[in-house]
Structure 1
């Protein structure tokens, strides 16, 4: 009798062990499946093992940049962050002013500031990674991805290089209440729905001229969501921010972040409130720091960023229907001087936020300036380029 009891107990314990193992296997399979889904996303990779700069070189450049800084932002009037680096090594950086003037919180290297239209470079990068991975085609018609998109000739490439001919959503939603009630927050999907249902005509015939337009990048954000199956915020986090360790970078969520995000100010220190356009992303609405953007820039200059044939198209000029030096590639501005020298950059301006991102690809130099108090001095940092190479900017005060 005792033997039978012991046998039953043994069988019972064995059954529990089997069921427990099955449960563990099930959980393990679920985890593998989740990881497999995430692993289908193409991700940025950090630039590794860059050549260290000689100490005497760093000291000499630092002195020149400091001279520029003191003359460009006299009497500590900067309100933001500024960084100059070569080979990923920071030569000079400064953080000054208030993140929030009412609370007297100061800006430091970890303070995320609104980077305005420099966000377009990051949006374009996500799109290009999807193209590079074969998940998207540059010349694919947008209406085959976003089914209600009303302009049949527009392609993904034309959104990237601003040749779609679309009108700026800020203008066609601004005054006509039959199009949009400005008491309501506008979203990317709203922009698409309005264009699809309100007879919003093109500003110019598609692909006949370059016209810088935020609507292009609002649509690219929706394409990223459609292709990845993730929100734009999550896709950018998984593809760019997380792999590069951009721990102080995020996509602004109007409902969650509007009370905690760093505000912006007019030049006279009056705070600029948010408006009905502040929920649209892709063209803007990324908050970041100079250090995080340095990580991003170096990854964009890594050898395995994109396949060579695709990378070449990124830095090709698409706004050259009229001969000139100013041009636009796939998510990057450029100046193509007749001497053969090329200068790649992107500026931004939203509310009181101004931003400048400069990548001197030949010299491996990164220059970044961010401000949450309106000033055009942010854009003057391009004049530092002659320190590093043959760039014909005239600025006597850098010596």
Structure 2
């Protein structure tokens, strides 16, 4: 009888398992979106191993940001989250106020807040990943994807950069002409059906001018659903939230979440109730935290987030009708100064929720502010940018 060396056999098995696992990890990290099987959703990947920051830099910068924060958000006004990071490392973060004024729940690092139109940046990221995976083309006609869509010349790109010429659904459903009964909650599919059947028309001819319009992103959410064969909520979770570990981020599900979400408030502390527009997603209706949005931003700044040619198109200013510094790319706002310096951001507002997302790729800086109590100070966080680069905003950092 021959005896088998058990330890030796186990070692061989373990070695083969490790080699197989390493090959799998290498495959997952190098495969391109365009090479994925058609039934596999392209996923965002976290950015890892960023350069460490100097301790003195962190300390000095944190002190200046703290002074800025205390000056801009007195205790009576502060109600939300504020985070500043460089190379993915948090330099400063602060959480103040109440998530629910009646229950007295405090806002913490894990409290999901409504990010309003900052949701558009995430919706755009999903569309861009699908384009990167060759599941759709940015210059593809919307009608080729959404068959009911009545306008022949509008493309996916025009939805992303707000050059479609479409009318805002919040306006054409708020009229007393029978277009929509406001006693019923409006859904994304309803918007498409109204456009197809109610002779709404357009504000302007396709691709003739920039006009910021929430209808564009409500339709992009439907396009995501059509291309992926799943709900927008599930597509966002599978493509973005789960792969990046955004554990406190979700798309608002009205029936499931209406009684558990953080409410929003007027500046005087009066709660703002829900209305008939609260079920539309894509343009809004993502709840997240500052830390989760930091994870998203770093993944969005990976060199392989998109193929180089597609990545270049994201930060191109598409509204050139009027001379000026302000512009809009593919799901991102920008300021382009004549000095050559560029500032990339997106703000949001819905009910009492205000939000600001700033990404500075050159300096690898992320600035995020979220509030569930109406407060325009949220948008002043751009004034922190001069601490990291040549940005012409005035920031008082003196004691």
In 1: Cα distance, 2:234 partner to 2:198 partner: 30
Matches within 5 A, 1:62-141: 62-75=62-75, 77-141=77-141
Equivalent residue, structure 1, for 2:340: 340
Equivalent residue, structure 2, for 1:326: 326
How far 1:93 moved relative to its partner?
0.4
Equivalent residue, structure 1, for 2:175: 175
In 1: Cα distance, 2:316 partner to 2:387 partner: 25
Moved more, 76-85 or 363-372: 76-85
Does 2:203 align with 1:203? yes
Q: SS at the partner of 2:368?
A: strand
**Which digits, 9 at most, give the CA deviation of each residue in 1:270-289, with x for residues without a partner?**
00000000000000000000
Unaligned runs of 5+ in 1: 1-35
In 2: Cα distance, 1:145 partner to 1:247 partner: 31
Equivalent residue, structure 2, for 1:231: 231
Does 2:316 align with 1:306? no
Q: SS at the partner of 1:136?
A: coil
Alpha carbons of structure 1 residues 255 and 198: separation in structure 2 relative to 1, 3 Å: same
Does 2:214 align with 1:214? yes
Does 2:353 align with 1:353? yes
Runs in 1 of length 4+ with deviation above 4 angstroms?
36-39
How far 1:363 moved relative to its partner?
0.3
In 2: Cα distance, 1:397 partner to 1:44 partner: 36
| The structure with more radius of gyration | 1
TM-score (norm 2): 0.90
How far 1:163 moved relative to its partner?
0.2
Say if 1:47 and 1:299, in contact at 8 Å, map to a contact too.
yes
How far 1:38 moved relative to its partner?
9.3
Unaligned runs of 5+ in 2: 1-35
Say if 1:246 and 1:292, in contact at 8 Å, map to a contact too.
yes
Equivalent residue, structure 1, for 2:260: 260
RMSD over aligned Cα, in angstroms?
Answer: 1.2
Q: SS at the partner of 2:293?
A: helix
How far 1:396 moved relative to its partner?
3.0
TM-score (norm 1): 0.90
Say if 1:384 and 1:398, in contact at 8 Å, map to a contact too.
no
Q: SS at the partner of 1:166?
A: coil
Equivalent pairs, count: 364
Q: SS at the partner of 2:75?
A: helix
In 2: Cα distance, 1:265 partner to 1:81 partner: 15
